[in-house]
Amino acid sequence: MSPAHPPLVSVEDLTVEFSTRDGTVAAVRDVSFSLARGETLGIVGESGSGKSVTSFALMRILDGNGTIAHGELSYSGIDLRRATDRTMREVRGREISMIFQNPRSALNPIRKVGQQIEDVLSEHAVAVGATAKRRAIELLETVRIHDPEQRYHAYPHELSGGMCQRVVIALALACEPKVLIADEPTTGLDVTTQKAIVDMIRDLTVARGLSTILITHDLGLAASYCQRIIVMKTGEVIEQADVADLFASPRQAYTRALIEATPRRTATIRGLLPPDDPRRNETDPKPPQAPTGTPPLLSVEGLTKVFPAATPASWLPWRRKVDGAEGFKAVDGISFTIAPGESVGLVGESGCGKSTTSMMIMRLLDPTEGSITLDGAEISQVPAARFARHPLRGKLQFVFQDATDSLNPRFTAARCIADPLMRLSDLRGSGAIRTRVEELADQVGLPRNLLQRFPHQLSGGQKARVGIARAIALNPTLLILDEPTAALDVSVQAVVLNLLADLRADLGMSYLFVSHDLNVVNLLCERVLVMRAGQIIEEGPTNQVMRAPQMDYTRQLLESSPEPPPSLRTEKVIV
């Protein structure tokens, strides 16, 4: 940012207001920043920080009830705030382009991806006809899609999430914009895909001299790819600094807390908590160790699940054999054990069969083959449909990935937590159940006055607590956690991980922690299983697998998860 080159994009004192029925709410207040030519700028913040609204304002695509209250927006001399809609149409796509969070919803499901790229080209009168087609194939090649001529004819549903995001990037680059805004471009993608996509965006940025704004909640990702980072909180810019400076000496307490809360290889669970939390200085809670030689709590033997082929077998008896294809083997003969009180991580990319495995152990899905033994009792033979009344039902419980989806929208928090108690416990009468619900709320740190609220009136962290309280209500011996923190902000994730560690130490439960994030697994689990294509390819103590992975795939997973540079304070701890 030398004075000779004026910034390409500059935002000064931007305030965006939304008119809601309770009056106007300022989602963004007095935000100023600039973007130089060829620079990659990260905007980092937790949900509700106004980072997306800022970029929407820049593109002038705010929702109907949002207005730019004051401030100046300019792009290479064009006043974006006062530009006519016609000018803005030219600017969008041609000068500034945007990549959205969910690639699948950004693509038209009933048009071939190649045609969609052509549409953009002809819309901006860049190319038409055969030229446009050639250009579209070139673009698909640029975003490293194999066999672009073939893929030109693919529909979005025929492509994986990562491929769709590549197509969206090709769309964004179609008219050779100068600025690329990427709004959480890798949310919902696996770590390895995330790395491939962001690497590609970086390479394209360098090759084409693009300026990029990367909007993300992941400090590690921003640190690995950006030169400068803006930290936002509740609509305001908290801190703005070069990456090295930001991590070496964060000036604001909030930034420091955010850095500390991001799981790293060297982190401890307590260390994730904000600096003013008194528990920070404690050592991590230690779960009670079962004496060696105790029989395992859960043992899984040769577990297999085959899903029938997508086209169902014909109902005509003589055609049944021909049509009944092999089907898809989601889980392929896996075996493992979990000791009482032990916490085991199950790691792998999406589609590797980890969710199917957890559903089978949870007895929501019937295995094709294999045995599941809990506490010495074989449970795989009880049909899933009848397991609801099985005596071991309460001993096996589950914490869902999406807390919002797992709570009945018409039940209050108290009713959600009481549900398993009403069905499976010996407690009778509303008084006894209420007492237990309040006890559980205290255990998971949910304020009692929130118990009468409905899920939509609770925050993400509070909903996660309700889900955990419901899962532990029946004193389970094994709790399966399916990425319980994936949808949460890092600061909330820190608190929830601590809660889970405390609960395990207090109640002596075993955990099977399903995740794609090895850094999080490392914090909570003693042992880790790495799954790929339905098989367990590596297992061992977590720190050993993290330090010296045996398989290439594990190494690749480890390298893909972005690691923020260690902050000064953590380094001091190490010294």
Partner 1 sequence: MTEAAAPVEASSVKTTARPGGHLVYVLTENPVSIVAIIGFAVIVFAAVFGPIIAPYDPLATNASISLQPPSWSHWFGTDQLGRDVFSRVLAAARLDLMISVAAVTLSFFVGAAIGTSAGYFGGWVDRISGRVIDTIMAFPLFVLAMGIVAAMGNTVENIIYATAIINVPFYARVARAEAAIHRHAGFVQAAKLSGNSDLLILAIHVFPNALPPMAVQASLNMGWAILNAAGLSFIGLGVRPPTPEWGIMVAEGANFIVSGEWWLAIFPGLALMLTVFTFNLLGDALRDIIDPRRRT
Binding region for partner 1 (CB under 8 A): 18, 20-22, 25, 27, 47-53, 56, 63, 65-66, 101, 362, 364, 385, 388-389, 393-394, 396-398, 400, 402, 405-410, 419-420, 423-424, 454, 456-457, 467, 470-471
Cβ-based nearer residue to partner 1, 515 or 554? 515
Q: CA–CA separation, 32 vs 13, rounded Å?
A: 5
Q: CA–CA separation, 329 vs 289, rounded Å?
A: 36
**Residue 30 CB neighbour total at 10 angstroms:** 14
Cβ-based nearer residue to partner 1, 178 or 393? 393
User: What is the nearest approach in angstroms of partner 1 to the Cβ of residue 48?
Assistant: 4
| Whole-Å CA distances, 92 to 66, 177, 356 | 19, 9, 43
Return the residue matching tokens 């989806």: 405
Cβ-based nearer residue to partner 1, 168 or 558? 168
554 alpha-carbon distance from chain centroid: 19
User: What is the nearest approach in angstroms of partner 1 to the Cβ of residue 293?
Assistant: 31
User: What is the nearest approach in angstroms of partner 1 to the Cβ of residue 479?
Assistant: 11
Cβ-based nearer residue to partner 1, 100 or 155? 100
**Residue 424 CB neighbour total at 10 angstroms:** 16
Q: Hey, which bits of 36-187 come out as E strands?
A: 40-45, 66-75, 78-79, 96-99, 179-183
Amino acid at residue number 313: A
User: What is the nearest approach in angstroms of partner 1 to the Cβ of residue 493?
Assistant: 15
Cβ-based nearer residue to partner 1, 48 or 351? 48
User: What is the nearest approach in angstroms of partner 1 to the Cβ of residue 519?
Assistant: 23
User: What is the nearest approach in angstroms of partner 1 to the Cβ of residue 393?
Assistant: 5
Best CA proximity match to 565, nearest among 247, 267, 174: 247
| Whole-Å CA distances, 339 to 466, 479, 545 | 27, 13, 19
Enter the DSSP assignment of 388.
Answer: G
Parallel, antiparallel, or unpaired: how do β-strands 527-532 and 535-541 relate? Answer: antiparallel
Enumerate the H helices of 382-537 as residue ranges: 403-406, 413-424, 430-443, 460-472, 490-507, 518-524
User: What is the nearest approach in angstroms of partner 1 to the Cβ of residue 35?
Assistant: 19
User: What is the nearest approach in angstroms of partner 1 to the Cβ of residue 146?
Assistant: 32
Q: Hey, which bits of 259-309 come out as E strands?
A: 298-307
Q: CA–CA separation, 396 vs 281, rounded Å?
A: 33
Cβ-based nearer residue to partner 1, 154 or 214? 214
Cβ-based nearer residue to partner 1, 229 or 416? 416
User: What is the nearest approach in angstroms of partner 1 to the Cβ of residue 103?
Assistant: 14
Cβ-based nearer residue to partner 1, 63 or 85? 63
Cβ-based nearer residue to partner 1, 24 or 122? 24
